Structure 1
């Protein structure tokens, strides 16, 4: 990946980009309002609309509509010819691209207010922005208590990235026919459910914080899997708490990016103790330097700042080289690395040395 090896912009392009950065919060909020107010939808359905028609349709004050529409021209969401308005390709993605919508909703509902405290988090190594929602040490303790819209956008973001990868990796995990699988950071239980449905003989244990385990129980116990699904509540940051043992496979999806360098190594060392001889740890992660497109790398790099300001203050979307180094320090070797899974993921198969 050579996206970041050279400066490709001319001086004029660089100055233009600098203005985009300077006005980025304004551009974001304006675009969100244009989307949510119905202005973009109306123009898309009525190409060549007059300004008066837009005002009459969306029901916003004339002044407010005017400043939004004029800003949309500069942002590149609308064009205007002979006093008639048309949507652009960028507007089409804002309106219809699931990835773009999920990212925008996550930034608006989960990150926007707390990002004001990003500089404090950089200095302290703590999620200083999380206080806009509550007084928890990390967002994970408070996840089940977040306001409904915030929780909805958080899970939509998390699930969108991981869910697209699940179908591609099920066959890889079950090629070795594991009988007992430990799902660390099982969240709402989506992966556990897919495992239980994929292989009628597997027994899955979800290990997570009490709040997340409770949410997973609500989703899974009513599905009738009986003793094939188990739950184990723990705090993974407490190294004195043991992991359950005797597993053929341990699964972690978009989980270790929630921890610092040293915490990752600590969790992996305890994974070694939980494995049966011949077992493997499977790690599904989006590494920013293993992306096909620069936009994907950009999104992951910026998501790292969510972890800084909102989640825990000390984790990120990792560079694969750094991350694999932690895996080796914890006593594992990567026996297989499969890139470009789903939207942005890499699957690491790790076995004890």
Structure 2
């Protein structure tokens, strides 16, 4: 029941710069408080909690980050600081306060809290959009493992639909030197993607496209990547997107779906927490293997294999339904 308090304490340490300062070297509470303009006693009590949950440790009267704490410094490659701030944001927190409304009515809690859907909201709130893009990039670090489990050899064109800051597409292009990539995203995310994919774009290996993929997708790709995309959408919208991919793909093409695909039996807790988060934020869900196969079949596709990734993520490889 106190999980929300702990996550707020961690996010507060990130917000106040405590972990950034400790990343520069150990410090006692007094000097740390003086340097950051904080109340010494209150800071000490916060640090005690952070030590109890394994974020910092105390040695000879001075505090230093643990391995976990070092990942929570701003600018760390893991992006965990940005993810902590996103999960602690009013954008998320205000939405979760309406969970009961979502369960009662079937509407999204985000809509109850903010009066619109997530993506329309982000278009009108650039600061939150920047935080969202950074947090999603951090949460998508698993995607760099996709080329380890799926062979992109021989692939000519890869289209990453809703690919965020471009971390996955960059990993694919690095693993498949002969491939050309296309990233389709909304404007706020494309700004970060231009920085991540700039070298590939300059080499003529990547195009960045501003578009709504629900209305159509680029034609003729060998692979369409959908990483944490379908869980944002209702069955109707997800089915429509999969149909666009099926109509547009090159002969022998594939759709790769990276999601927390729930096993038909079993209760993986992290995936189920995030399934309720999707209920709060979107009309989508974390679907079961059977649920994805039903969606795929309705779009003329079928599951070829499901491969395991870190953090309960799985990669579903889909291809056209074989013709009789």
Give your verdict on TM over 0.5.
yes
Does residue 301 in structure 1 map to residue 301 in structure 2?
A: no
The counterpart of 1:189, out of the listed 158, 166, 179, is 166
TM-score, normalisation: structure 2: 0.72
TM-score, normalisation: structure 1: 0.67
1:249-288 matched pairs, under 5 angstroms: 249-288=223-262
Counterpart CA distance in 2 for 1:244 and 1:305 is: 32
Counterpart CA distance in 2 for 1:192 and 1:120 is: 37
Measure how far apart 1:251 and its partner are: 1.5
Contact 1:205 1:232 (8 Å CA) reproduced: no
Name the structure, 1 or 2, with higher relative contact order (CA <8 Å, separation 6+): 1
1:1-353 matched pairs, under 5 angstroms: 21=1, 23-33=2-12, 37=16, 45=26, 60-61=38-39, 64-65=42-43, 68=46, 92=66, 95-97=69-71, 101=81, 103-109=83-89, 110-129=91-110, 137-143=116-122, 145-148=124-127, 150-169=128-147, 172-175=150-153, 177-209=154-186, 211-212=188-189, 216=193, 220=197, 223-226=201-204, 229=207, 231=209, 233-236=211-214, 241-289=215-263, 297-310=268-281, 312=282, 314-339=283-308, 341-353=309-321
What is the root-mean-square deviation of aligned Cα atoms in Å?
4.3
Deviates more, 1:258-267 or 1:194-203: 194-203
Contact 2:56 2:66 (8 Å CA) reproduced: no
Measure how far apart 1:60 and its partner are: 3.6
Contact 1:260 1:315 (8 Å CA) reproduced: yes
Pick closer, same or farther for the CA change 1:288–1:158 going to 2, 3 Å: farther
From the two aligned structures, give the one with the greater helix fraction. Answer: 1
- What 5-or-longer segments of structure 2 have no aligned partner? 72-77
Contact 2:303 2:318 (8 Å CA) reproduced: yes
Hey, what does 1:7 align to over in structure 2?
Answer: none
Contact 1:327 1:333 (8 Å CA) reproduced: yes
Paired positions, count: 309
